[in-house]
Amino acid sequence: MINQLENMEYKANNPLLTTLVASFMATGSVFAGYIPNQSINYTGMVHENYDYQATKQSTHISNIITNNIVFDTSTTIEKTIIEKIDSVFGYKVLDIEKSSLTDDEGTFSIYTMLLDLETRDYSKLLDEEWELSEQLGLYEQNIILRFV
């Protein structure tokens, strides 16, 4: 539309039309300015999604704590392991899952634990996993730890 008005002004060379075109172009630029705003809004939506995911994750974690999935395991081996992980290495356990494995040497209980760590050095974690197993004599009890 602005292009059409510019053409009209060029053809008619009319001062009134020039003023009209100028005002339309000014309005148009304001209108055009809305387009990047829209993309900013869209970016904002993306950010909202990220926030949503973060919230969702932290809700999941808080659910674990508030629903006592992890910590309401009083007098069980899980509680001992969780407390030891905290006291020996200073890691919090966010989630725990128990599974079993049977091979030639018998049936093993595997405790897979999700640790509250920002970065994970698995070389170190694997050593710590074994260190704790030895400390608690877990291998003799057919218990395997997995830190993830």
Partner 1 sequence: MEDFNINYYAHHTRFIYCLFQNYSNMNNLGNCQEAFEKVSEESLLRDFMSRAYYTVFLKARNEMFLSDSVSHSDVLNQLDPKYKNMFRDLKTFRVDADYKTDYPITYPLKNDKVKGQYYLERLISIMDKFLSATGEQLAYSHVTLRENKKRKFLIGEI
Residue at token pair 């698995």: 122
Q: Is 132 in the site for partner 1 (CB under 8 A)?
A: no
Residue at token pair 């053809």: 11
Q: Is 118 in the site for partner 1 (CB under 8 A)?
A: no
Q: Is 52 in the site for partner 1 (CB under 8 A)?
A: no
Binning the chain into helix, strand and coil, the percentages to the nearest 5 are: 60, 20, 20
Report the residue from 17, 25, 125, 132 that binds partner 1 according to the rule CB under 8 A: 125
* The total number of residues written for the chain in this structure: 148
CA angle 7, 11, 14 (to 5 degrees): 105
Q: Which is nearer to partner 1, 10 or 139 (CB)?
A: 139
Q: Which is nearer to partner 1, 73 or 112 (CB)?
A: 112
CB 102 within 8 A of CB 72: no
CB 80 within 8 A of CB 136: yes
- Under rule CB under 8 A, which residues in 98-117 are in contact with partner 1? 101, 103-105, 108, 110, 112, 114
Which residues contact partner 1 (rule: CB under 8 A)? 57, 95, 97, 101, 103-105, 108, 110, 112, 114, 120, 122-123, 125-126, 129-130, 133, 139, 144, 146-148
